[in-house]
Structure 1
Amino acid sequence: MKKFALSWSGGKDGCLALDVLRKQGIEVASLVTTVPAEIGRTFGHGEKKELIKLQGEALGIPVHFIECTFEEYSQKFVQELKQLKERNQLTGIAFGDLYFEPHREWGEKVAKEVGIEAVYPLWMEKKEALHALQTFVESGYKSTVIRVREDVLDESWLGKELDHAFLNAIQQKDVCPMGEAGEYHTYVHDGPLFKKKILLQRPEVIQLETTKKLEYRNYFLLEK
């Protein structure tokens, strides 16, 4: 049986990738999340480690954090992925990227160095992004917008659920519907593969570089 690690930042893309892998009968032995030592938050989404740990617990999949600096990102990723490969007998690593070619090239290079397969279960053409968002909206997973790029989306988008209203509204903006260029990021808190759901409370908006982020002060698991 194939056994994979999955690159995980806590959002809709990784969650969809996990769903596809599980439907293909692939075991996901570990969620892999990179955390820059300089910031102590996840790369890309800027999420707190505690909220990623909560997702792992809710899904019943261990989370492996790779702590690294920007300079040693690739080197540390390869090094720790080799350890995960030995520990979990991994045969591959999956990524939730959609169509950004440089990300795929990087992931395939890393996997080759580790000696495992690189898989992109969501890979598509750019024009298919709207259909991918519709697939997520109808998947049963619950996800909230937790970060926006200020040059394209204002803070009124923070806290929006990825539902049919969001699907309609995002089409009125000049952005990738799936936010592939970092226009927005999400946090998944419930869905078919979740053994427990995550309750998020007391949100407040904080500033991170050129983005605004929704920060939750209270968060905990609930039985389903």
Structure 2
Amino acid sequence: MKRLALSWSGGKDGCLALDVLVKQGIEVSCLVTTVPYEIGRTFGHGEKMEMIKLQGEALGIPVHFIECTFEEYTQRFVQDLMELKERHVLTGIAFGDLYFEPHREWGEKVASEAGLEAVYPLWMDEKSALNALKTFVDSGYKSTVIRVREDVLDDSWLGRRLDTFFLKDIQHHNVCPMGEAGEYHTYVYDGPLFKQKILLGQPVVVKLETTKKLEYRDYSLITK
């Protein structure tokens, strides 16, 4: 039986990958998130570590943080994967990438170096991205936009739910509907695999380099 780690940044892609894997009968033993040593935020979305821990608790899946610098990112990723392979008896690691080939090449490289299979449950043609967004909108998972690239989407998109209105409106912009180039990032707070729901409150907007991010100052788990 396959036992996988899943690369996790807290957004819709990782969640959709998790959903596909579970439906295939594959066990996801842990979620893996990279964080810079000095910042305490995720590399992927600039999310606070506490918010990722909360998702792991809500899903009932342990989260492992790979703490590293940008320079030693790959080396530490491989080292930690090898440790996780022994701890969880892993056969592979899954990634939520959709079609960006350099990301897949990197993922296959680190998996191979750790002696694991690289799994891409969402892999598709670029033209299928809109259908992928529709799949997520129809999936029952609840997600909100927490970060936007200012050169393509303004901050009115922050805090928007990924629903049928979002699906319609995103098609009027020159972006990947799934935000594969980092046009927007999301945070998933509820859905079919969530054993508890994450309640979010007191949002504030902060500026991070070329992006704006929505931060929640109040967050907690509630019984479903």
- Which TM-score tier does this pair reach, normalised by the shorter chain? over 0.9
Q: 1:118-157 residue pairs with structure 2 within 5 A?
A: 118-157=118-157
- SS of the residue corresponding to residue 39 of structure 1 reads coil
Greater shift, 37-46 or 211-220, is seen at 37-46
Separation (CA, whole Å) in 2 of partners of 1:23 and 1:44: 25
Q: Which position in structure 1 is the counterpart of 2:65? A: 65
Over the matched positions of the two proteins, sequence identity in percent amounts to 80
- 2:173 is the counterpart of 1:173: yes
Q: Which position in structure 2 is the counterpart of 1:30? A: 30
Q: Which position in structure 2 is the counterpart of 1:9? A: 9
Separation (CA, whole Å) in 1 of partners of 2:37 and 2:165: 37
- SS of the residue corresponding to residue 86 of structure 1 reads helix
- SS of the residue corresponding to residue 44 of structure 1 reads coil
Q: Which position in structure 2 is the counterpart of 1:115? A: 115
Separation (CA, whole Å) in 2 of partners of 1:44 and 1:34: 8
Q: Which position in structure 2 is the counterpart of 1:46? A: 46
User: What runs of 5+ residues in structure 2 fail to find an aligned partner?
Assistant: none
- SS of the residue corresponding to residue 202 of structure 1 reads strand
Q: Which amino acid letter does the alignment assign opposite residue 19 of structure 1?
A: D
**Which whole-Å deviations, capped at 9, do the CAs of 1:151-194 have from their partners, x for residues lacking one?**
00000000000000000000000000000000000000000000
- SS of the residue corresponding to residue 111 of structure 2 reads helix
Separation (CA, whole Å) in 1 of partners of 2:74 and 2:189: 29
Separation (CA, whole Å) in 1 of partners of 2:2 and 2:107: 18
- TM-score under structure 2 length normalisation: 0.99
- SS of the residue corresponding to residue 98 of structure 1 reads coil
Q: Which amino acid letter does the alignment assign opposite residue 165 of structure 1?
A: F
Separation (CA, whole Å) in 2 of partners of 1:179 and 1:128: 13
Q: Which position in structure 2 is the counterpart of 1:199? A: 199
After TM superposition, give the deviation of residue 37 of structure 1 in Å.
1.4
Q: Which amino acid letter does the alignment assign opposite residue 97 of structure 2?
A: D
After TM superposition, give the deviation of residue 28 of structure 1 in Å.
0.4
Contact 2:34 2:44 in 1 (8 A): no
Contact 2:7 2:95 in 1 (8 A): yes
Separation (CA, whole Å) in 2 of partners of 1:172 and 1:155: 16
- SS of the residue corresponding to residue 123 of structure 1 reads coil
Q: What value does the CA root-mean-square deviation take over the aligned residues?
A: 0.4
Q: How many equivalent pairs are there?
A: 224
Q: Which position in structure 2 is the counterpart of 1:217? A: 217
- TM-score under structure 1 length normalisation: 0.99
Segments ≥4 residues shifted beyond 4 Å: none
Separation (CA, whole Å) in 1 of partners of 2:163 and 2:39: 31
After TM superposition, give the deviation of residue 38 of structure 1 in Å.
3.3
Separation (CA, whole Å) in 1 of partners of 2:17 and 2:91: 16
After TM superposition, give the deviation of residue 42 of structure 1 in Å.
0.2
After TM superposition, give the deviation of residue 39 of structure 1 in Å.
2.2
**Which whole-Å deviations, capped at 9, do the CAs of 1:64-107 have from their partners, x for residues lacking one?**
00000000000000000000000000000000000000000000
Q: Which amino acid letter does the alignment assign opposite residue 100 of structure 1?
A: F
Separation (CA, whole Å) in 2 of partners of 1:51 and 1:35: 13
Q: Which position in structure 2 is the counterpart of 1:83? A: 83
Q: Which amino acid letter does the alignment assign opposite residue 181 of structure 1?
A: A
Separation (CA, whole Å) in 1 of partners of 2:157 and 2:38: 28
